[in-house]
Amino acid sequence: TSALTAAALSCRRYVAGGQCKSTAKLDGKVVIITGANTGIGKETARDLARRGKVIVACRDTVKAEAAASEIRAETGNQQVIVKKLDLADTKSIREFAEKFLAEEKELHILINNAGVMLCPYSKTADGFEMQLGVNHLGHFLLTFLLVERLKQSAPARVINVSSLAHHGGRIRFHDLHGEKSYNRGLAYCHSKLANVLFTRELARRLQGNQVDACGCPEQLSFAIGTKVTANALHPGSVHSELVRHSSVMTWLWKIFSFFLKTPREGAQTSIYCAVAEELDSVTGQYFSDCQPAYVSPRGRDDETAKKLWNVSCELLHIQWD
């Protein structure tokens, strides 16, 4: 039995993956985390609240308030503040940004964490397919509205929570909103690829330099220009509420929970990207288990990244040069 226990423990350690070792403090710094009332987002907020001021931006403010008061009690940090943000509605995104900019003079870390997964076909308030609308377009608009404040507060970081699922995605410009054909699994993959491409193009524009195109984890690109970095990450396969729209996935998640990361383990790479000192000037990269990871060839396609940027601007009626 002791051999079995040892094997089980080493298996769990392997599943848990990388851990953020940084003890960096965020004194006087302001962090926004979207979707931080549950799962990875909540655990990211819990960790960062031990370091600085955290704004929990969520659609469900009742759930968010419960999470925030739990975090305040545990960390002793009263600067954990709930703000309403519905990423499926551009009006709500604009209202959130307007209030934030009026109340806060600085923003150092923006973690675009919220997401929906495997939902049945539906549309956002603005008529976007729900997964692309929330996971990509909502965060694209939010980042656009806050980017000047990030630049003023630099050094600053934008962190986009993507997924290994980006490997199965493609940007279907001829049917972006899945009106011709819709597969909820593939639609999730497409939205996560959009996160990777957005990160890449955002990094390029913020630095005024070309991010390397090789996809080799060893070659990191360094930030010059604005001193605002943008990186994406895969949190790992995490036991969270994200699969709630699929009864099959919910069932599988329960059965295989031993082989899934806990939300705390899943939050480690988000925390790492937010605070690790060695990432101060690293930008346009993709991380998993607190280290650089391989990006699919589609995730490295600069032409697609530029086209997606332009199409996103058109859909959102914004000009972002």
Range of the domain at 289: 22-315
Q: Tokens standing for 129?
A: 């397919």
Is 10 inside any structural domain? Answer: no
Q: Looking at the domain assignment, is residue 321 inside a domain?
A: no
How many domains does one find in the chain? 1
Active site residues: 188
CA distance 210 to 305: 13
Q: 50: domain CATH number?
A: 3.40.50.720
Q: Is there a domain that residue 15 lies in?
A: no
Q: Is residue 3 part of a domain?
A: no
**Ordered per-residue pLDDT tens for the chain, 321 residues:** 777 676 656 654 655 678 999 999 999 999 999 999 999 999 999 999 999 999 999 999 999 999 999 999 999 999 999 999 999 999 999 999 999 999 999 999 999 999 998 889 999 999 999 999 999 999 999 999 999 999 999 999 999 999 999 999 999 999 999 999 999 989 999 999 999 999 999 999 998 644 444 455 445 555 557 899 999 999 987 655 555 555 665 555 465 555 577 889 899 999 999 999 999 999 999 999 999 999 999 999 999 999 999 999 999 999 998
Residue-wise DSSP of 58-116: ES-HHHHHHHHHHHHHHH----EEEEE--TT-HHHHHHHHHHHHHH-S---EEEE----
- Secondary structure class of 56 (helix, strand, coil): strand
CB-based contact 56:33 (threshold 8 Å): yes
Q: Which of 262, 244, 31, 26 is nearest to 150 (CA)?
A: 31
Residue 1 within any structural domain of the chain = no
